[in-house]
Structure 1
Amino acid sequence: MKTIVLSKWSDVVVPAEKVYNTTLTRDQKIIIVDEDFTPFVNLDERTFSQDFTVRIIDRNAVSTFAVKDLPFIPNKIDTYTDGTILLASCRCRRTEDWIQQNARRYTMDGECLDEFVLGDGISDLAIDDENTIWVGYFDEGVYGNLGWEEPIGYSGIAVFSEKGEVVFRPELPMMFELQGFNVQSADQVFAHYTLMSSFVYFDHFEEVQHDEIEEKISFSQFILIDADTMLVYCSQRLNFLILKRSNGEFRLENTVMLKDEHGKELEHKNASIRMRGNHLFLMNSKGIYHAEVSLDSVIEVEE
């Protein structure tokens, strides 16, 4: 077994009902939306309008801004390099005479600067350091639902300009749905997708690495530590794993325990795990913990 030590990053406790819908930004801030989405799920998309409060956590500093009359549920969020925020809905309905605009860009003063369509069935969304928007889709976004006979997400991953124009679609074999991104910069875009479990690495739209993953391992949060080593969090099994690449396939090498700086194991079964770049964050009932992951930070446990 391996160990990674996390330090206390913030005393702020994200409420349990919101902990699973958090975003980690490129500059290591945590974004949450205060409102509970459950009452809004079955409301009419054409008439939906709701105020939301966006909360940004930067260690122990917390800032908020209000979004008025948002016409969709903002369950996908990320930031542009100028500090403006993209709010998007994972669902997007289309009819014969109407297409739901399911993405809006806002200032920290709550001013809407732009709106556009990213398509239905969004499983993950991330903006790189050149303001390119990487969007991945689950199966309904790939094959069509909610009126989309020719869905925007048919390729599984679609890449948009900052104004919402499609600029790139990778041609990936055996694409069923995107499991997760790790996007820190335009030259380091990592994606995990199925039908067969696959990993792909893009540098400015160029595919530079494509490997298979041992099929029994399912995850959405991950860090590529180096070209041959990956840390993954399996949310169904609630465990952390180290995968090693051999002959074009990442395979299980070891399990990982998370500890705080005092050597105590960190409770993560009711926590939210977020990974971006090489940064690992854990949010639980005691606060927020952080580690910058490298080969040197993954320690062998002495028996």
Structure 2
Amino acid sequence: MADKCVRLSPVFNLEKEIDGYIPLNVSIGAKGELCVLLAEDVPDYIDGQFVPTITEETRTYRGIIIRDGNKHAFDFPGEKWNYHFFEPIDDGENLLLCSARSYNHGDGNIEKNARVFGHDGNLVREFCLGDGIGKLSVTEDNHIWCGYFDEGIFGNYGWDIPLGSAGLVKWDAEGRKVWGHQEGEGLFLFDCSDFTVDRDRVAISYHTGEDIGITENEVTSHYSTEVMTSLMLLDDERMSFIRDNCLIHMERRGRSYVRRGVTALLKQDGSPLSPHPPATRGSRLLMLDGPDLYLYDMGGA
């Protein structure tokens, strides 16, 4: 039962841009950009269960960036890569497209699943961020944080020693590893499909118990919590967990985050939101429901 309800109005309508496309991902960029990745179609699974990295058929991807109230659409036609993530990089000068999966074919033949394009659509550089990426966020200092799900941590698609074995990895803008979570952090990450970046901090949830970690300056502090979930908003001493269109608010007390209330998020007419998987960055939550984008900021609540 929610303690209060907040009715949200769409901040942008993407009916024109989304027509004929399938939403793949939403995210909030390093400078507050609202980002949406669309595709003409989604590749079929291999044998009904394995996600392809590269396909024989081509498709067009469309990346939408909303910055300073203006919408910008970028089309990437003739692509065979199966992309899942899209954000600005290089201080907004370029655009990063990345696939969640990457095959290691052996003998140094590794698929470079991260590709940086100019605004003109030309490829600038490419590199590998590993297999099994569950979430990706580019930071203001042009680092790339990647959280990996179990196949990216324990190995699949030819990876005996996965690049994502740390669970959470910080890369530079050229694809060089800067830091990995498992290196002396105490608690093991079996799955890091989600995390929240807040300026120079990253919050993660462990799936081994009711524990969360907050990494700052590449050092992780651990806290207990009463709520077991993964998608979080982070704002100074407060944190909110997202469950069933509700925000479960927590406040830090020593080494714990304790529950302080529940807020239900609704549309203006009082009906519940039915969003595509939402995105977080710091205290902000971005949701795409049909053609409408909704933005909620815990910092202003």
Scaled to the shorter chain, the TM-score interval is 0.7 to 0.9
1:55 aligns to what? 63
How far apart in 1 are the matches of 2:166 and 2:278? Answer: 27
Bigger relative contact order, structure 1 or 2 (CA pairs below 8 A, ≥6 apart)? 1
- Would the alpha carbon gap of residues 183 and 101 (structure 1) be closer, same or farther in structure 2, given more than 3 Å must change? same
Tell me the TM-score normalized by structure 2: 0.83
Name the amino acid aligned to 2:62. Answer: V
Aligned to 1:83: 93
2:229 corresponds, among 199, 218, 233, to: 218
Corresponding residue for 1:92? 102
- The corresponding residue for 1:152 is 163
Aligned mates of 2:51, 2:167 — CA distance in 1: 27
TM-superposed deviation, 1:37: 1.6
Deviation at 1:232, TM superposition (A): 1.8
Residue-by-residue CA offset, 1:63-94 (whole Å, 9 max, x unaligned) = 32232444421102222113311111111111
Show the counterpart of 1:162.
173
Superposition RMSD in Å: 2.9
Equivalent residue for 1:287, pick from 282, 292, 299? 292
Judged with a 3 Å threshold, the aligned counterparts in structure 2 of structure 1 residues 48 and 117 are, in CA distance, closer, same or farther, namely farther
- Assess if the C-alpha contact under 8 Å between 1:183 and 1:277 holds in 2: yes
Deviates more, 1:3-12 or 1:173-182: 3-12
Structure 1 residue 248: deviation in Å?
2.4
Question: Aligned residue for 1:11?
Answer: 13
Identity score, percent: 23
Q: Deviations over 1:21-80 (max 9, x none)?
A: 222223232222232223376687566463423231428743322324444211022221
Give 1:2's aligned residue: 4
Deviation, 1:201, is 2.0
Q: 2: CA distance between counterparts of 1:16 and 1:71?
A: 18
Q: Is the 8 A contact 1:40 1:73 kept in 2?
A: no
Question: Distance in 2 between the 1:282 and 1:265 partners?
Answer: 16
Q: How do 1:1-303 residues align onto structure 2 when only pairs under 5 Å count?
A: 1-13=3-15, 18-19=22-23, 21-26=25-30, 27-39=32-44, 45=53, 48=56, 50-58=58-66, 61-80=70-89, 81-97=91-107, 98-171=109-182, 172=185, 173-185=187-199, 187-207=200-220, 209-214=221-226, 217-220=228-231, 222-227=232-237, 229-234=238-243, 237-246=244-253, 248-259=255-266, 264-285=269-290, 287-294=292-299, 297=301
C-alpha separation in 2, matches of 1:43 and 1:20:
14
- The DSSP-based 3-state class of the residue aligned with 1:149 is coil
Where 1:56 maps in the other structure, the secondary structure is strand
Paired residue secondary structure (1:242) = strand
Give the superposition deviation at 1:107.
1.0
Q: CA–CA distance in 1 between the matches of 2:211 and 2:121?
A: 39
Unaligned 5+ runs, structure 2: none
Gaps of 5+ in 1: 298-303
Amino acid at match of 1:147: G
